[in-house]
A and B are shown apart, each in its own frame.
Chain A
Amino acid sequence: MSTNLHINIAGENALIIYFCEQGSGQVNANVSAKVQQAEQLIRKAMTYELAQDIIDLVPSYASIMVMFNMMSTDHHQVRNKLRTLLQNIDNDLTAPDAAYATNIVELPVYYSDESGPDLSVIAQRTQLSIEQVIELHQGQEYRVYAIGFAPGFAYLGEVDERIATPRLSTPRMKVPKGAVAIADRQTAVYPSVSPGGWNIIGLCPIDMFDAKASPTMPVNVGDKVKFKAISKEKFLSLGGTLGGSYE
């Protein structure tokens, strides 16, 4: 019987698999590793035995929502198939990360006052120097916990506690594409111009979402991300642009 894994109903054609107790509310790298493993197992099954039955998946921090095809199956069948497929993960027989692909993606960032208007605010708030804030941000290896909010928006964690900063009380109407930002212990790169309430500390010249590229995004849920400080010249030579609005 399952100890950690729960499958709940989401809607008439969707189930949701939880990989830890609901409501515990804590971001957890081990749980996220299980999500990643389970997603890979289900996707593999979707190429063959579940090809007719499962339409799409939404992996997130501690859950995977599974949308199924009501024309070919029902929630009992899907539930049973998922349980069988995921029994080893549930029993902790697989060591985290073993035999499952985890990419490490390096993203260059031009950290500065001109590209990151909240950099000095965070420094002031935390009593650190700007250099220390940058060092702490790029010193961490982050995990992609979820993708959502906007196409290509990856939630990365966890930011060093010393530079964790709450969201702006009034979100900006416009954040430039490529803005690297912090909200509490999460960080992200805005994939396109959008409204946003996170604290911006720099700009990344790499496209986080390109509808015409394959793959569309440089990262998947479960991948690791490292940020690397680059100069203004390097940023511009990589195709980055300045002068976007931070309204």
Chain B
Amino acid sequence: MSKPALTSGLLVKHGGMLSLIQDTGRFGAFNIGLTNGGPVDLLAFQWANRLCNNKLNTTAIEISIGGLALIAQVDTSLAVTGANMPLTINGQIKALWRSYQIKAGDVIELGFASQGLRCYLAVANGFSIAPSFGSTATVCREGIGGIRGGKLLAGDVLACARTNLKNNLSLADKFTPKYTGEVTLHTVPSYQQQHFSLHQQRLFFSNEYTVSKSFDRMGYRLEGQAIACDIEGILSEGICHGAVQIPADGQPIVLLNDRQTIGGYPKIGAVSSIDTAKLGQLNQGGKVRFEPISMEQAHNLYHLSLSRFNRTELVICD
């Protein structure tokens, strides 16, 4: 359990259900079969870093479902964003979407979310984790990134520098994302779209789907109106983030950060990254609808969202 602490930072007391070291992801290694990893809800991840005055790709923790407990070994500042997991520091309930100064010995705990699924915990100057293939992102299926290529376990020490922000920062409530159980997924028709009849495309874009019990960082399997494709399979080809795969049973699968790099099922389109972030906050039973958009609209949505993010100022809270 307790190994000699060569480094100090945050000691993991409980790893929780699935807590992973993440930066914005691994790019440039598709050709050897390595996927991107990275935060499923990139927006919440970036807010956590901004609240700690970090660069946006600084290494932080993605906590899915909840249950993470940490003991600080150094003085630092941290912020938690994302799903509404109850956050306590030394047993006292604290609000998310703001930063706190932490003293060595403080105990930081996250309960379980009632709305949303994933939280992001960043510390000032980030965690010092050795990158693999240019990134610290953990992809458990590949055993790559983070610590040991796997999820956080009790006894792990997440190295971070002794720092203190002068001021605590917060994001005003009116700017924080609200996680409901329903999401509209703006989707660019693409890939094998022409192998789905107009009728099948109409069905796909007009029906509501439910998140099945099979959902993870690799992809979200949905249930609802089955969609038929003219072809059964294709030669395996590159799968982009957000691609919507339609296997033989006609039930769509939206592929996310830990997807396989290539695959042979037909794809009807790809969901915009702004909306995959929202999808990744849904639990089993969550409702989604697909709405078709052009590539130009997708770019517009992306740049508007980025512009809003950049223009929103944080408030000094104490």
Contact = CB atoms under 8 A, between A and B. Distances in A.
A14 interface: yes
A183 B7 CA distance: 48
Nearest to A65: B238
Interface residues of A, number: 44
A153 interface: yes
A211 B132 contact: yes
Given A14-B240, A63-B235, A148-B33, A8 B142 contact: no
A12 B302 CA distance: 9
Interface residues of B, number: 45
A149 B295 contact: no
A74 interface: yes
A70 B302 contact: yes
B17 interface: no
A151 B164 CA distance: 40
B302 A25 contact: no
Interface string B234-254: 111111111100000000000
B177 to A, nearest CB: 19
Residue in A64, A153, A220 whose Cβ sees the most chain B Cβ within 10 Å? A153
A8 B191 contact: yes
B238 A58 contact: yes
Nearest to A10: B240
B190 interface: yes
B191 A147 contact: no
Contact of A12 (B133, B144, B188): B188
Interface in A16-67: 16, 22-23, 25-27, 55-65, 67
Contacts of A110: none
A176 to B, nearest CB: 16
Nearest to B296: A74
A86 interface: no
Given A12-B299, A147-B33, A22 B234 contact: yes
B28 interface: yes
Given A8-B190, A12-B242, A27 B32 contact: no
B236 A147 contact: no
B262 interface: yes
Contacts of B27: 55-56, 67
Contact of A58 (B30, B143, B195): B30
B28 A152 contact: no
B31 A220 contact: yes
B299 A27 contact: no
B237 A65 contact: yes
Nearest to A75: B295
A216 interface: yes
A61 B263 CA distance: 11
A23 B133 CA distance: 34
Given A61-B235, A221-B31, A10 B302 contact: no
Given A56-B27, A70-B299, A153 B33 contact: yes
Given A8-B191, A60-B262, A70-B302, 10 more contacts: A10-B240, A11-B242, A12-B272, A14-B270, A55-B28, A60-B238, A147-B31, A148-B260, A151-B144, A216-B32
